[in-house]
Chain A
Amino acid sequence: ETGVTQSPTHLIKTRGQQVTLRCSSQSGHNTVSWYQQALGQGPQFIFQYYREEENGRGNFPPRFSGLQFPNYSSELNVNALELDDSALYLCASSWQGASYEQYFGPGTRLTVT
């Protein structure tokens, strides 16, 4: 096990609602990245947080936002949910050093109806 945890495991929301997903990073890691993985696709980078600041963002609209807390845990917030937001949401923690190896949590499976 990587030591990265995510909650909840599964979630069902309706279109237009808002959702908050949570991630606790592996001990000693200071960076959290969030990914969206649709069925049959590779994970798509949403954004990364390093020392409580957003530090890189993929091609996702502003309704995807996040936070990182002093203990390096993180939240992903998605407003105005759309059907296409249905996916597995993964967080990965890492130490922002040369190797940059990331370790993933088990993911939150979000279904938007």
Chain B
Amino acid sequence: RKEVEQDPGPFNVPEGATVAFNCTYSNSASQSFFWYRQDCRKEPKLLMSVYSSGNEDGRFTAQLNRASQYISLLIRDSKLSDSATYLCVVKPGGYQKVTFGTGTKLQVIP
């Protein structure tokens, strides 16, 4: 089993739709979780950290389910500019390696 798994997509959704991505992780000792966004041939950019209680930033909501070992990202009212690859990131405690998922590609269609 991979340390971090994501559905590669692509997810093709119309403008205004709500879309959700999941990311599962295998290391139960993982303590920090993040979502990054990566545009084609660009560097990843931090979208949001994921907190145990869940957190929201505008149209984006992140959730953590420790019991089932997954994190999720919900995007409401999708915009064309949301088209990108979304990477989940998992980090164990301490100064250990950070693991990226392979990313989920989102294409928002007019």
Chain A interface residues (CB < 8 Å from chain B):
2, 33, 35, 40-45, 48, 50, 55-58, 90, 96, 99-107
Contacts and interface: CB of A to CB of B under 8 A. Distances in A.
Nearest to B46: A101
B97 interface: yes
Contacts of B4: 42
Given A42-B87, A43-B44, A90-B43, A101 B49 contact: yes
Contacts, number: 50
Interface of B: 4, 32, 34, 42-46, 49, 87, 91, 95-103
Given A96-B95, A106-B42, 12 more contacts: A40-B102, A41-B102, A42-B87, A42-B100, A42-B101, A43-B100, A56-B97, A90-B43, A100-B91, A104-B45, A106-B43, A107-B43
A74 B101 CA distance: 25
A102 B44 CA distance: 10
Contacts of B91: 100
The 3 A-B pairs of least Cβ separation, nearest first, read A42-B100, A104-B43, A45-B97
B102 A56 contact: no
Nearest to B105: A40
28 contacts: A33-B98, A41-B102, A42-B100, A42-B101, A42-B103, A43-B87, A44-B100, A45-B99, A50-B95, A55-B95, A56-B95, A56-B96, A58-B97, A90-B43, A90-B44, A99-B32, A99-B49, A100-B32, A100-B91, A101-B34, A101-B46, A102-B34, A102-B46, A103-B46, A104-B43, A104-B45, A106-B43, A107-B43
